[in-house]
Amino acid sequence: MSDDLAIYHATVLSNAEIAPEHRVMRMSAPEIAARALPGQFVMVRALGTADPLLPRAYSVYAADPTAGWIEVLYRVVGNGTRRLELYEASQKVHVWGPLGNAFQAPQGRAILVGGGVGIPPLSFWAQHLAGSDAEVVTLIGAATERFLVGLDRFRESGSRLETATDDGSAGHKGYVTDLLDRWLDAGPATVYACGPMPMLRSVARIVEARGVPAELALEAPMACGVGACLGCTVPRREGGYARVCTDGPVFAATAIAW
């Protein structure tokens, strides 16, 4: 376990709905806020209940080291997130982190590709890169317009933004990966992606065919977050398995056996 790991009964500062089924929880966690980097995650567990017993992993959506808070963005889909949804300001949750590795600086333009609940680490990365020389392009996909969440933060960071929806209700009608080739034609770039496995597989296929460097933030069920339970493994291309929690969650696209 990392010496840098901070464990808290963190005070919830806000827990606001930002779109249907999507909420952002801000919590006071100064030591995590001081160290969290884009791509890293925290484990969060409701206090005072055994249901659900296990914590869940959430990518850090934003962190303010000065004010001492972090945010996670979550979709309300199961018992754990339905319990989290009920939290109000001043209540406490159990949180520990930051965990895992982080994105590395881009070579050339940074192209961020996100789908589903893969937005949080990319949004944090876009905010981080806003203070650098890197040009940032963000491509976000969702099933339909109402599930395109968190776009304002990408705009506020100065990123160019394009969207895709399966039903054509906003942006390009089709897959978000359909938008990638044109930007890869436009010059040297590093791709960063987070989202459902089929989307990541598609990104990996595209960047490998072009020899473009890419870092993909994987999601996996995580019971411990610190390498102990082996519940989060994915097959490595070179053989064997990687733990998403401690070997990732950020991997080179070429590292995984897709």
Please give the structure tokens belonging to residue 138. Answer: 């963000």
CB of 57 to ligand FES, least distance (A): 7
Contact residues for ligand FES (CB under 6 A)? 222-225, 227-232, 243, 245
CB of 144 to ligand FES, least distance (A): 31
Residue nearer to ligand FES on the CB measure, 30 or 227: 227
CB of 84 to ligand FES, least distance (A): 18
Residue nearer to ligand FES on the CB measure, 53 or 228: 228
Residue nearer to ligand FES on the CB measure, 184 or 223: 223
Residue nearer to ligand FES on the CB measure, 140 or 224: 224
CB of 145 to ligand FES, least distance (A): 34
CB of 252 to ligand FES, least distance (A): 19
Residue nearer to ligand FES on the CB measure, 99 or 119: 99
Please give the structure tokens belonging to residue 42. Answer: 């925290």
Please give the structure tokens belonging to residue 7. Answer: 């464990």
